[in-house]
Amino acid sequence: MIRNMVAWLTLAVVCFCSSVIPAQVLQDPVPGMEFVELPGGDFEYVRIEDEFGNVVSSGDSVHIRSFQIMTTEVTQAMWEHVMGIDVEGYLDSTGISSVGPDYPMCMVSLEDCIAFADSLSSQDSLYLYRIPSDRFWSYACAAGTYTPFPWGTDTLDIMAAHCWYSANAGNRLHPVASLFPDQWHLYDMCGNVFEWTTVSGGVEFEDPETGGTVTGQVLRGGSVYSTPMHCRRDFWLPSDPGAEYSDVGFRVIRRLRSNGWEDMGQSRSQVLDSLLHEDRFAVFAEPMLAVGGISHDFDDDDIEQIGYDVKSGCEQDAAYLRLGFGKHFGRFGAFVYGEVGHIGPGSLIDNHGPWILPEVLLRMNVFAGGVELRYFPARVRFGYGSYGGHAEIDNDTAGAPFPSGSWSTDIVDGRGFSFGVGVHIPVSEHIAGGVEWSQHFIDLKLAQSGTGVEPSEHTARQYELRFFVNIQLPFEWSTIF
């Protein structure tokens, strides 16, 4: 008696919260299709707690970024609208009796479901649609809990209010959203029809007909023929992705095109594998810090006017920001970029070595552009730019007869080529890090100095080791046109 009262009290609280604090339901161009935005967060994928909060099972924590999910399973009317087929005729031919616009679509393989999501994506310039991965589905089904069901444990009274299963379904499918939703405003996450989900690389299971090992995908959520145990969040069935069943349907998830599709619950190798097979446009920003040195040829007649041969170099540090646009073709990528930067002792680390007396130092601002080619994980770039700034005798190493600051002149024209070779390693869908060896080949024209040294022309070679972070975003022409 007390157990039943607690069960119904819990149901009343859930229904009250759903009505007082409803999830934001987003309408879609497909009639009847609604989505809710689920918050992202850390999620312990296989964690299950009992009704007293005791941990029954646990596993590694993964991070899921926010996404939108359909509030219901895809209905027969939605399938007919998107795919343009006569659903009633098709289902009648397969012996399905539960036919109607509000019934969940069934007798569709995972391959059919992926085609449905791809068709939706082609019709919507704002969103990309996917079949939920196994972990996305489990995260949505948990609805912020770690219990076997979003409403708690398998109390049968509450279960019958949320879930069409063997005890209350009468061995037939029912229209979607005909029972109570969970606290995230999702209907039928448990029961009515199993739902297709995906696992990167698939799961291996034994073929019941041949006895051999085959690779399949995962069904979740239980159906009208399932026991309560088979409707739990932690229960799953492997299946052939080409198979069709009378009690298996699906729902789709989506994200804005600008947000991409990375399942942060995947392993690093799975994320990398998906990135290396994408054909996509991208824009990137790449801040860089560089350490290195510069050599210059201030040993001509003009410098002999000040009495020293100062052909040598010094340690030199730099910082850059590159912005680029291009396209990935799987492992290969091609980009154009623009770059701004500053080269000069003291820009980051004032630590140049007094190899000669006096040193002539260059401090230069860089404005450049170029092309970059990538073949994972290597990359090479070629650029051309202008260099402006000034040259001076280093104050730390000046000696008689030239006191500190006695010789300084501006760069009136500086131009040159640069190249770089390096490696980059993605750490997520949008972030990569790496290192690059770079050189500049610069021709300089100096103005007349304050001490009367005539205008002169020189060459400089800047060599450096660059450390960078590449921040990359997908780019869709449809977001502009």
Q: With helix as H, strand as E and coil as C, how does the chain read? A: CHHHHHHHHHHHHHHHHHHHCCCCEEECCCCCCEEEEECCEEEECCCEECCCCCEEECCCEEEECCEEEECCCCEHHHHHHHHCCCHHHHHHHCCCCCCCCCCECCCCCHHHHHHHHHHHHHHCCCEEEECCEHHHHHHHHHCCCCCCECCECCCHHHHHHHCCCCCCCCCCCCCCCCCCCCCCCCCCCCCCCEEEEECCCCEEEECCCCCCEEEEEEEECCCCCCCHHHHCCCCEEEECCCCCCCCEECCCEEEEHHHCCCCCCCCHHHHHHHHCCCEEEEEEEEEEEEEEEEEECCCCHHHHCCCCCCCEEEEEEEEEEEEEEEEEECCEEEEEEEEEEEECCCCCCCCCCCCCCCCEEEEEEEEEEEEEEEECCEEEEEEEEEEEEEEEECCCCCCCCCCCCCCEEEEEEEEEEEEEEEEEEECCCCEEEEEEEEEEEEEEEECCCCCCCCCEEEEEEEEEEEEEEEEEEEECHHHCC
For the chain, give every domain's residue range. 2-266, 272-479
Structural Rg of the chain based on CA atoms: 32
The CA-based diameter of the chain, rounded to the nearest angstrom, is 106
- pLDDT of the residue at 158: 85
- The reported pTM is 0.55
272-479 topology per CATH = Porin (2.40.160)
User: What distance in Å separates the CA atoms of residue 5 and residue 84, rounded to the nearest whole number?
Assistant: 48
What's the CATH class of domain 2-266? alpha beta
Q: What is the pLDDT of residue 450?
A: 63
pLDDT at 18: 39
Phi, psi of 278 (to 5 degrees): -90, 145
pLDDT < 50 stretches in the chain: 1-23, 263-271, 299-312, 346-357, 398, 400, 476-481
Identify the sign of the CA torsion 344, 346, 347, 349.
Answer: positive
Q: How many CA atoms lie within 13 Å of 431's alpha carbon, on the beta-carbon side?
A: 5
**Residue the block writes with tokens 């590159």:** 322
pLDDT of residue 310: 39
